[in-house]
Structure 1
Amino acid sequence: MLFSPSRFLRRVALATCVSLTFPAVASADILIGHPAGVTGAVAAGVQENLIGARAVFDAVNAQGGVHGQRIVLRTLDDGFKPEKTAELARQLIDEGALALFMTRGTPNTEAVLPLLKAAKVPLVGPSTGASQLHQPVNRFVFNVRSSYQAETTRVVEHIRLMGLERLAIVQVDDSFGRDAVQGALAALQRIGKAPVLHETYNRDKPDFSALVPLIVKADPQAVLFIGSSAPIAEAITQLRQAEHSAQAITLSNNASAGFIKALGPHARGVVVSQVFPWERSHRTAFIRDAQALIAKQSGVTLTQAMLEGVAAAKVLVEGLQRAGRNPTREGLRDALEGLNHFDLGGLTLSYGPQDHSGLRFVDIAIVDREGHFRR
């Protein structure tokens, strides 16, 4: 059974309202702030990130917490609006959050960067692969997942191996799109190629009615779509309704069951780059552990977005363990930076003063007829 975004959304919305109405954090608890788009264009992925992260925190709390302190994740809905992300991040910091966690979206994460420096609060596992969060190193940002440019580079390698010569690129016109596309353009240039079409769309008011005919006219063999799940699902749907069969490709920010559901009958054959191993494999301990955690939740099937939540939560928990009882924000920051060859279970992550990039894993998957990712 696939994860139901609508059912989980109702649960998250209720939990968010409760956290805003009643003080649920005891003085001995560790408050972690999570401003993210529980509603809006990225809701499906955020909801699945939350399932993974909460599964880890719940398991840790069930064993007595970290040094006897319970982890409390407070999620506030920013609606995928950068200015709201900054407002809620400031609120969470003022409430005493030890760290911020898994902000979603490049512009949204950029909006909180000044707050991190001012309050000396670390951000763990931002759910974006923006290169500006990797270099130059921001001493308060601890990336877990790989970069978008690494993904788009891998996409170009993939289509070349498939023998596809004509690539079109459709990207959102924001800092995410402008950053991610650079990997693809550089990879194309290295092999003496250029996109047959390169178009942008408006982040706040996506409209593909004029853009899809341009794609059809250019007649590419593949189209790389860079953007959030809701508009990209709509773009692919319109392309198929125009009876064009180009290979549709998108990035890991759309590696969610909610994205597949939004595609409906057009999901099969869509290629999505991945930043974690295959969620249905038993080869790595990380996947086996995640499967065991998610299996405790009725009616939920493990997804790539959940794996991102699991990985980010495990990194945060390890940092808290090393920071000791009653950690400070800077103490947690220093503990995280000291992680060297930390084994997530077959995936190794290292930080240091000159490197906060985290994992570098990138792979390619395709949606099968059952609505699952296949490698």
Structure 2
Amino acid sequence: MRYVGLAFFLSGVFLAASGAAQAQKQYGPGVSDVEIRIGQNAAFSGPGSSYAFQYRVMAAYLDALNAQGGVNGRQIVLLQRDDGYSPPKTAEVVRQLVENEDVLAIVAPFGTPTNAAIQKYLNLKKVPHLLIQSGASRWNDPDHFPWTTPYSPFYVIEGRAIGRFLLNEYRSAKVGALYQADDVGRDFMKGLREGLGAEASTMIVKEANYQVTDPTIDSQVVALKSAGVDVVFLAAQNRFAAQAIRKIAELGWKPQIISTSIANSVKEVLVPAGEAASTGIISTTNYKTPSDPAFRSDSGVQQYLSFLSKAFPGHDPDDIAAIRGVSVMEAAVEILRRCGDNLTRENVLKQATNLRGLRLSLLMDGVTIQTHPEDYSAIKQIQLIRFDGEKWVKFRELIDDE
């Protein structure tokens, strides 16, 4: 099992030639002896903009890496384009990145509907569409879309883990679900029902959904309360999850809230909703908590803290956006490192789909990346966490979907 630490802190790793680099150099678009050009769409504006900090972290990570010599002596040039979380805009900016900017790959692009808008195009062009920042199960389809690979645990897997937890701990509860009306919400609900099994039809007493363009979800929350719900399952993005938590508190209602991993940022969700209203919420994660004293001697955590303090002084080290941004770029850098001097699109895909047992520095112990040519799903382990009013605290054992 290979362990990958924070790339730019490992002296000399990326300056040394790998075994693959001994062969004759082979370059695809966007590659030369001195640089590797990659691109990504990101929601720096629009309804998904609360996730934008993750992309600022990715850019800062690569800046720090490049200052240490880059990957195998090459600088990584990251071209980020704002798509406003609008699928037509995503298609436009990604086409420009591929056809005008000549990028080697699209790496860590954001969003479910936005990636759906570019999936066919990138596969037809045979451009690596890597480490997608969405847990929709549609990204694991190597037979039809071999150039598309996921990163996040699938929403179905997370929903299934939560369903099993509810079945064990809240079997007599009335469950109400508020979910996003697209592939995101549908996958979460599919997993939740699978986890509840035969009890799903009786335990889930009310479902409500929303569109990402809706101004509020107040009426949906009121409908859940009116249905006598005592466990609320939120499969909602940051802004809507915060609204729901705040509205629940305003109603004087005290159900057990379970907010999925797409909306468990303390800064972007729990603080806006109110720490008091958020205390006791349950969620899931795959990452270490950097501020936890248990990780004081963890080299990966310490390297991350050093990076964050230099790049974003004073920023909360437990911010999931920062943690995820670093972790995703660690994986991307490892893929490029393994390519050596064979930096063709075909070899990038080959390396991305053979990450067996890859450990990243901020993933919890026991959580690994496991991609195979026949199965692209990267992370299958889930950890339950509970908010104590200040930070997330893990409870129960790590759940392995396999």
TM range (shorter): 0.7 to 0.9
- The change in CA–CA distance for 1:40 and 1:91 in structure 2 (over 3 A counts) is same
The answer as to whether partners of 2:135 and 2:151 remain within 8 angstroms in 1 is no
1:59 Cα offset (Å): 3.2
Deviation string for 1:318-349 (max 9, x for gaps)?
11112123722222112222333223244432
Match of 1:183 among 191, 203, 209: 191
Alignment match, 2:25: none
Alignment match, 1:299: 314
Farther off after superposition, 29-38 or 41-50:
41-50
Alignment match, 1:213: 222
Alignment match, 1:128: 134
**Secondary structure in structure 1 of the residue aligned to 2:272:** helix
TM-score (norm 2): 0.80
Alignment match, 1:61: 66
Match of 1:308 among 304, 309, 324: 324
User: Is structure 2 residue 244 aligned with structure 1 residue 235?
Assistant: yes
Q: RMSD between aligned alpha carbons?
A: 2.4
Amino acid corresponding to residue 203 of structure 1 in structure 2: V
1:274 Cα offset (Å): 1.5
Cα distance in structure 2, aligned partners of 1:288 and 1:357: 29
Deviation string for 1:200-242 (max 9, x for gaps)?
1222225424322211111211111112111221122122211
1:356 Cα offset (Å): 1.2
Deviation string for 1:125-169 (max 9, x for gaps)?
211110111245532122222111111112223334443611101
TM-score (norm 1): 0.85
**Secondary structure in structure 2 of the residue aligned to 1:47:** helix
User: Is structure 2 residue 62 aligned with structure 1 residue 50?
Assistant: no
Alignment match, 2:106: 100
Alignment match, 1:224: 233
1:26 Cα offset (Å): 9.9
**Secondary structure in structure 2 of the residue aligned to 1:157:** helix
**Secondary structure in structure 2 of the residue aligned to 1:225:** strand
Amino acid corresponding to residue 178 of structure 1 in structure 2: R
The answer as to whether partners of 2:157 and 2:191 remain within 8 angstroms in 1 is yes
Q: How does 1:72-221 map onto structure 2 within 5 Å?
A: 72-94=77-99, 95-135=101-141, 138-163=145-170, 165-191=173-199, 193-221=202-230
Deviation string for 1:281-311 (max 9, x for gaps)?
4186554443343233311122223222222
- The change in CA–CA distance for 1:350 and 1:191 in structure 2 (over 3 A counts) is same
Amino acid corresponding to residue 159 of structure 2 in structure 1: T
**Secondary structure in structure 1 of the residue aligned to 2:378:** coil
Amino acid corresponding to residue 159 of structure 1 in structure 2: L
1:113 Cα offset (Å): 0.3
Cα distance in structure 2, aligned partners of 1:168 and 1:335: 42
- The change in CA–CA distance for 1:167 and 1:262 in structure 2 (over 3 A counts) is same
User: Is structure 2 residue 274 aligned with structure 1 residue 264?
Assistant: yes
Alignment match, 1:11: none
Alignment match, 1:3: none
**Secondary structure in structure 2 of the residue aligned to 1:125:** strand
- The change in CA–CA distance for 1:267 and 1:42 in structure 2 (over 3 A counts) is farther
1:55 Cα offset (Å): 4.4
Q: What is the identity percentage for the equivalent residue pairs of Structure 1 and Structure 2?
A: 26
Number of matched pairs: 349
Cα distance in structure 2, aligned partners of 1:140 and 1:255: 30
**Secondary structure in structure 2 of the residue aligned to 1:90:** helix
Gap regions ≥5 residues in structure 1? 1-24
- The change in CA–CA distance for 1:77 and 1:261 in structure 2 (over 3 A counts) is farther
Alignment match, 1:32: 38
Amino acid corresponding to residue 305 of structure 2 in structure 1: Q
Report which of the two has the higher share of strand: 2
Larger radius of gyration: 2
Alignment match, 1:290: 304
Q: How does 1:332-351 map onto structure 2 within 5 Å?
A: 332-345=348-361, 346=365, 347-351=367-371
Alignment match, 1:328: 344
Farther off after superposition, 309-318 or 296-305:
296-305
The answer as to whether partners of 2:47 and 2:212 remain within 8 angstroms in 1 is no
- The change in CA–CA distance for 1:127 and 1:272 in structure 2 (over 3 A counts) is same
Alignment match, 1:280: 291
1:195 Cα offset (Å): 0.5
Alignment match, 1:13: none
